[in-house]
Amino acid sequence: MSEQGDPLVSADWLMTNITAPDVRIVDATWFASWTNPVETGREAWKRGHIPKAVYFDIDEIADTASPYPHMMPDAVKFSSRARKLGLGDGSRIVVYDQNRFFASARAWWMLRVMGHKDVYVLDGGLHAWVSEGGALDDLPTPPGERHFTPRVRSDLIMDARDMEQLVGSARVKIIDARPDGRFFGRDPEPRAELPSGHIPGSINVPGSLLVSEDGRMKSAEELRRLMPDPGAPTVATCGSGVTAAITALALARLGNWDVAVYDGSWTEWASDPSRPIVRGAP
């Protein structure tokens, strides 16, 4: 397996390969605070996870000095955290979650930004695993340190300055994965201090449209109907860089493995009143 074909694996595949010595399993479950979750992602992992799974916390494996949530850390911090989780060179990493790709797609993208190619997402997450008869574990997973060599792909991550240079340019497509009400400025942002609206020139493909009712990602044929020109150079954005990674994952399924994510996304863009914001339908 490599960066071609499908970036997702099935529960059946994982059951067949779970005992392979190079397979590492990661639970990256994350719940947005404004949804008033009954538990944290770490608590969900502790309650029950796929055997061998370690917990990847996007709020801790992050640049915690940034004013914006779960921003990508530098290579030194990331490699240190990955090593302590037993994720490293020569590993085939399978990431899953318990919340419809939140935040398995984000962890998948982060690992790829840091140069790890052999990383995949479990389609349907924990629900698919249980539906196929997979067992759960509630014991901590001894990770065992493994060397992680970062080879940063700066082309896969964008910041506000990069995005400002893209405004008014047709060379890169900007896809915003937020719900359409927030994109068009009809509905408020969950972060009350931010206005809603969108970056000039961006298009709206809500992340919820990419996932089927059973929590699996839609087929390549269905995704092609949703994604205009899926092979074009693309930057994905959303509220804070989590749903945008689902867009990147979906486009990888369609063969475009080079989709960048605007890490700060709307939380960063809209925090500066000097940046242009568009509201209303085109």
Mean pLDDT across the stretch 22-34? Answer: 97
238 is catalytic: yes
Over residues 34-55, mean pLDDT: 96
pLDDT of residue 34: 93
42, 112 contact by CB (below 8 A): no
Secondary structure of 232-279 as H, E, C letters: CCEEEECCCCCHHHHHHHHHHHCCCCCCEEECCHHHHHCCCCCCCCEC
Structure confidence at residue 3 (pLDDT): 62
Q: What is the pLDDT of residues 74-108, one digit of tens each?
A: 999 999 999 999 999 999 999 999 999 999 999 99
* Dihedral sign (CA 57, 64, 206, 165): negative
pLDDT in tens, 168-179: 888 899 999 999
| Size of the chain, expressed as the number of residues it contains | 282
The catalytic residue among 94, 238, 260, 270 is 238
DSSP 170: S
**Which domains, and CATH codes, for the chain?**
8-152 (3.40.250.10), 155-269 (3.40.250.10)
pLDDT of res. 2: 45
